[in-house]
Amino acid sequence: MNDDQLLRYSRQIMLPEVDIEGQIKLLNARVVIAGLGGLGAPVAMYLAAAGVGHLVLVDDDTVELSNLQRQVIHSTHAMGQSKVASAVASIGAINPDVNVETHCTRITSDNVSGLLEGAQVLLDCTDNFSTRFALNSAAVACRVPLVSGAAIRLEGQVAVFDSRDVNSPCYRCLYDEQSDENLSCAESGVLAPLVGVIGSVQALEAIKLLTGIADGLTGRLQLYDARTSAWRDMRLPRDPDCPVCGTRG
């Protein structure tokens, strides 16, 4: 690290759980962020600010006026731009040293494995089940830890699924493919700061995975009720009959 980096990341480096070694791991990391909406916005900004060296941004959408209430990585003048292009500009303003790779494409089962090539962590910040299932299948196949987040109305959740751990469940262990595809912010609404809370926890869990900080959320689901500001923590067992990870050795 050069002198500017030592100063930029000094507040993290002074943490014994991070130190110089952990910061170097962040600088050398390649992380995929799927979705640049309400969750992906704080994820991308915090990972860039923390010094994750290579961010892969994937989203096929463009910035609309209705996004701006919660998708804080985008601004009014970015309306009509692709979300990945808008995010690149914001990330560059936060930390110009971050290498950003963009894919303005819809995630499918055909292209997702290629997007994960060389990645240490995948963050699922999408808002539909078909994409989440595709990301999960690829994460299991590629042995890439998956940090999953969701937020709607006044409720949010975060979980980590790490296929490198033989005891860890996967997303498909938690949800079957008959889940309600129509449950979205466009249909049900969401309070703006809620996605910031959940996205920030996703970014935190990603940094813990990258630096080796213990006691992460692997195998656990955290549920947040914004009405009461209460968190609930649930252990997630692995399903031995899961069609995605059940045969994993």
97 domain-assigned: yes
Looking at the structure of the chain, the number of domains it has is 1
157 beta partners: 150, 223
- Is there a domain that residue 188 lies in? yes
**What range defines the domain where residue 56 resides?**
3-235
In a domain, 241, yes or no: no
- 11 within a domain of the structure (yes/no): yes
The answer to the question of residue 102 being in a domain is yes
Q: Give the global pTM.
A: 0.96
pLDDT at 215: 83
Low-confidence ranges of the chain (pLDDT < 70): 178-184, 248-249
Q: Are 211 and 18 in contact (CB under 8 A)?
A: yes
Domain for residue 248, yes or no?
no
Residue 220 domain-assigned? yes
Question: What pLDDT, on the 0 to 100 scale, is given for residue 177?
Answer: 76
CA 138 to mean position of chain CA atoms: 15
Residue 187's pLDDT is what? 73
Say which CATH number the domain at 138 has: 3.40.50.720
Within 10 angstroms of residue 226's Cβ, the number of other Cβ atoms is 17
Q: What is the pLDDT of residue 237?
A: 93
What is the spatial distance between Cα 226 and Cα 230, in angstroms, rounded to a whole number? Answer: 7
User: Residue 146: what pLDDT?
Assistant: 98
Phi-psi region of 189 (alpha: psi -120 to 50; beta: other; left: phi over 0): left
Is residue 202 assigned to a domain?
yes
Q: pLDDT value at position 207?
A: 98
